[in-house]
Amino acid sequence: MRIATTIFLTDETIRPDRLGRELEQRGFAGLYLPEHTHIPASRDTPAPMGEPLPREYGRTLDAFIALGQAAAVTERLALGTGITLVSQHDPVDLAKQVATLDFLSGGRFTLGIGYGWNVEEAADHGVEWSTRRELTRDRVALMRALWAAEPTAYKGTFGSVRASFAHPKPAHGAPRILLGGAAGPKLFGQIAEYADGWLPIGGRGLTETVPVLRQAWSDAGRSGEPVVVPYAVHPSPGKLAHYRELGLQEVVLQLPPAGEAEVLRTLDDFAQYL
């Protein structure tokens, strides 16, 4: 099972180039980064992780720029977002960012996407909260049109693009797309419809939920099985053994949003799981 990591990289933490080198040298499989463009100082939306909202949420580095820096100093380290808030991006610009990072890294990129929790943040991007899921699906379809080998038009409910020359292309036609969110029929139906798998935060309850997702996948006529990558996991030997028993091939461990010394100490501790 591949052992990857995630961290809230900020202006106060270890730098992405230093972290990328250390991860690759130590044998970790990947680095996933979250994003928030900003956190409105006044909001009615309660933070799902509890209040007060941790400091790092309002200080995150741009995930694509940070991953680009990590890609430039590594050769094998997988790179991903966990998650990209697709509804808060212009899809034509985002398609270019994704394709460029995947191309320059030699196909090492995974696009983790999600719907978000912060109503006020989304509103500042012009997002209508009640339709953000449909907007995300529509924008992913538009991006796939731009990643297609030949000029391909797309017309959706929320946007469209003309058949266009759009290069570079992602290294393998399109990056792996994993959808985050809470388990349930609605999310699993959406994964089966347009994603390659699921990023379950924390990795709890997978004994019950993974078979349900696999059934939804099969019912949608998808071949094979959906990828399931437990995300932001606080590891233990028993927990990782359980993931292996479920047939999972990758897990993403949570690093502290800290300076270099503390992050490297945590990597030393996590080395027992490699």
Domain ranges of the chain: 2-273
Mind listing the pLDDT tens digit for each residue in 128-168? 999 999 999 999 999 999 999 999 999 999 999 999 999 99
Q: What is the CATH number of domain 2-273?
A: 3.20.20.30
The candidate with the shortest Cα–Cα distance to 248, out of 216, 220, 217, 214, is 214
pLDDT at 71: 98
Mean pLDDT, to the nearest integer, of 112-119? 98
The CA distance from 63 to 78, in Å, is 14
pLDDT at 86: 98
**Contacts for 221 with CB less than 8 Å, ≥ 6 apart:** none
The CA distance from 71 to 17, in Å, is 8
Mind listing the pLDDT tens digit for each residue in 4-27? 999 999 999 999 999 999 999 999
| In the chain, % of residues over pLDDT 70 | 100
pLDDT at 136: 98
- What is the overall mean pLDDT for the chain? 97
pTM reported for the whole predicted model = 0.97
CB 216 within 8 A of CB 236: no
pLDDT at 63: 98
Task: Tell me the pLDDT band of 37, cut-offs 50, 70 and 90.
Answer: very high
pLDDT at 84: 98
